[in-house]
Chain A
Amino acid sequence: MKTRKLLALLLLLGLLSAALCGCGGGSTGETAESKPTDGSTPGTEAPGDPQGAADHPNEITVGIAQDLDESLDPHKAVAAGTKEVMFNVFEGLMKPTPDGDLIPAVAEKYEISDDQLTYSFTIRDGIQFHNGDPVTGADVLWSIRRCMPGGEADIQAVEALSAIQEAEYKENTVTLTLDQPNTEFLSYLTLAILPQGYDGQDTAPVGTGPFQFVSRAAQDNIVLERFDDYWGEPAYLEKVTLKIIENADSILMSLQSGAVDLFAHLTSTQVQQLGDAFNIEEGTMNLVQAMYLNNAAAPFDDVRVRQALCYAVDRQQILDLAFDGYGSLIGSSMYPAFGKYFDDSLTNYYPHDAEKAKALLAEAGYPDGFSMTITVPSNYQPHIDTAQVIVEQLKEVGVTAEILPVTWESWLNDTYIGRQFQATVVGVDASTMTARALLERFTSTASNNFINYNSPLYDSLFVKATSSGGDEAQTAFYKEMEADLTKNAANVYIQDLADLVAVRKGLEGVRFYPIYVLDLAGVRYTA
């Protein structure tokens, strides 16, 4: 008798869970619908008819390995992964092109005075935010002022904007006056223009880009829709769902099952397993991958030791062993996609030479080598693979290196901010499309100079570069700075990693930029 009761209980449990499943599913739909109303956004509308949208052919699902788990306000967002996606939603007065040039976006045109101190921008006629409001001079000025240093703590201040002495607008013309000429100034004006007085940016962002934000479900997906009132060439796709898939095996299965149409930043191993349903586009990650050395910590405070490591590491072998040959070698804190700023003559400044490395070590007082620790954030497999190859290569010259895998958080806290490390393998990116974004951090007083690089020549070159009026002179100074980093062996420079993007056959139009973005506006179904 009792067993029958037990059976009944089990049955009840089954029914209960079935009912709950119904609820569970229902609620996922609910959150997608209720989300925009939460943020009380006038512009972003809930996906009106989910069934209609599901049947529509003109949409794709893009896989991303990292969630956009922070504020979506472009002035607050920190993670490269967030900026990469939100590039499609926001625009500045200017916007970058795949070639590395800048073109007017929110501005229709601009004029620079002869003394290079006054910039006047004409706001594009009829341009709208995603919520339907027109873009005004007040919005532009507010957006720029919001990012000037000394503002709120969670806003990412743009140091270069402190050069603005006066800022004003009249009708649809915004005028900015600088205290000294700065040829790079325009590239900082790619900073997103947002509607003033709208307080939902954190969760329901509103910009002027080709795609508008629809919804975000934590650790699940982000939905973007084409902005039909876009001022420029509209996006081809009507809807893009960005699906968060962190597990490496699941990434492969999602591509092969047809759940995901496009996935960027794949490893060469993943690409080889993909089969022929996909085209593989190859770009660059736009990172300076290096074994960064703490220039203030023994034994790396001796330039000869740093140079010895540069000679000891065989970078081509790293590419061959850990990256199936993909990637482009670099010799300083600059990668090839930067075009005119990249100095290829530095790439092979330290050819692999174990004998020379040993001689330098002996000269520096380490004839028998030494022991060192390489700190590596353990969530980045490419960096771990690289470090492993380096460890083997350093054995040849008598240096015993040990890898210390740490979480990203403790890397940030102890290595990057605390500067408590000997060597670390990571990739450093550029926040804007300027040489300054990569090079300023190594000036001796920069707060993000985590390697404690200290070269008076470098500092003086940086002052010259930022104050020189002409583009050519400036470029020359930046190249001298790169050479200074190389000659002093500031770090063991390795490569700019290859960016392998899997695109389902039948889709085309992936565009690569010299900065870390995923431009979806050009992606389309081939006719």
Chain B
Amino acid sequence: MKYLLKRVLTLLVTMLTVSFLTFAAFSLISGDTATAMLGTAATPERLAALRAELGLDRPLLVRYGEWLLGFFTGDLGVSTSYKQPVWDILASKFRLTLCLSLMSFILIAAVSIPLGLWSAGRRRFEGARTALNQLGMAVPPFFTGILLSWVFGVGLKWFMPGQFPDAKQDFAGAAAYLFFAAVALSIPRIAMTARMLRSTVQEELGKDYVRTAISRGNDRGQVLRRHVLKNALPPVVTFLAQTMAEIVAGSIVVEQVFVIPGLGQMLVSSISNRDYPVVQAIVVILALWVVMAGTAADLINQRIDPRLRLGGAA
């Protein structure tokens, strides 16, 4: 209970801080909603009139307070560029980005954990494996994305780059399309996680309890799975939680390459349009996301390692 309360409090504080900082940042950068709306048609008089109409001439704190009030009453406001309620614009994009992120997260976990374990126990071709690992970490997702699109999209025609299918009519098609984007997004993270797991496992393997277990006749593989993995996992789980947060940042680029209408592109464009209701909403969603990923990691680690449990919570 105490733990839950603490987490909710963290969430609230994070969201308030982040949303206020975003709001404040908007008043520091050059150009505002009015200049974005008027473009080259702007004149000082028209700008002043439009600012008055939009209420932009009021102090920052008043405007932030107004936004906050709306937010807590479930009103995210209306996009200043699209003139539509923010949630109408974001709802489908949010689900799409969530899908893409979860998909690549599952890929990362499902591939990197066995890979890390497998590679920890072997010393053959270590140089080649390290090189491959380095390559995986170094190649940026947008490049992998372009490569995948060319080979599997334009070449083999397994999916059609630029034409994201409607999942209602073509679920398999949409899933396949997202899969390729998820692969592009995952590769560097898989390499990093596998490498990390490998080094923590190797560290554990050198410890006394492993030697004791093996000298008592236990099967090496069993020791690895039952004892070593349990001790090696917590830092990796924490790392994966960070990954969860970073995937969203990475998805901005991958969504652009694969022309997926997700949150990433929306965030970038609404910043340049100075569309603060949309930016605020996305930022809050992302903050929520990051805090939740951290909480999930904590909970999982407590399951794995009882020493981490606080006062019998979780």
Instruction: Please give the residue numbers on chain A whose beta carbons come within 8 Å of chain B beta carbons, in ascending order.
Output: 2-3, 5-6, 9-10, 13-14, 16-17, 20-31, 35, 38, 50-51, 54, 61, 63, 67, 69-71, 78-79, 152-154, 156, 202-203, 216-221, 243, 245-247, 249-250, 253-260, 407-410, 412-414, 416-417, 447-448
Contact = CB atoms under 8 A, between A and B. Distances in A.
Interface stretch (B8-16, B62-70, B98-106, B192-200): B98-106
Given A153-B53, A217-B261, A413-B31, A69 B273 contact: yes
B272 interface: yes
A23 B167 CA distance: 9
A35 B85 CA distance: 11
A443 to B, nearest CB: 14
Interface residues of B, number: 77
B40 A412 contact: yes
B162 A17 contact: no
B9 to A, nearest CB: 26
B169 A50 contact: yes
B92 A17 contact: no
Interface in B227-283: 229-230, 256-259, 261, 265-266, 269, 272-275
A71 B31 CA distance: 18
A28 B166 contact: yes
B82 A218 contact: yes
B285 to A, nearest CB: 14
24 contacts: A3-B226, A13-B102, A20-B98, A21-B167, A21-B174, A21-B178, A24-B92, A24-B95, A28-B168, A31-B91, A51-B169, A69-B269, A70-B82, A153-B50, A154-B38, A203-B83, A203-B84, A217-B92, A255-B162, A260-B162, A409-B29, A409-B35, A417-B42, A448-B43
Contact of A154 (B35, B37, B45): B37
Interface string B130-164: 00000000000000001001100110010011110
Contact of A153 (B46, B157, B166): B46
B89 interface: yes
A44 B45 CA distance: 36
A67 B102 contact: no
Q: By CB atoms of chain B within 10 A, which of A61, A63, A69, A78 has the most? A: A69
B256 A410 contact: no
A415 B246 CA distance: 36
B275 to A, nearest CB: 8
Contact of A26 (B35, B46, B167): B167
B96 A203 contact: no
Contact of B92 (A14, A21, A27): A27
A24 B90 CA distance: 11
A412 B272 contact: no
B252 to A, nearest CB: 11
A16 B174 contact: no
A17 B103 contact: yes
B122 to A, nearest CB: 20
Contacts of B95: 20, 23-24, 27
Contacts of B49: 153
A17 B178 CA distance: 12
Contacts of A63: 162
B261 A20 contact: no
A406 B304 CA distance: 50
B210 interface: no
Contacts of A38: 84, 88
Given A78-B40, A409-B30, A417-B35, A3 B229 contact: yes
A69 B82 contact: yes
Given A25-B166, A28-B92, A70-B81, A412 B31 contact: yes
B31 A409 contact: yes
B60 interface: no
B110 interface: yes
Contacts of B44: 417, 447
B256 to A, nearest CB: 4
B303 A414 contact: no
A253 B162 contact: yes
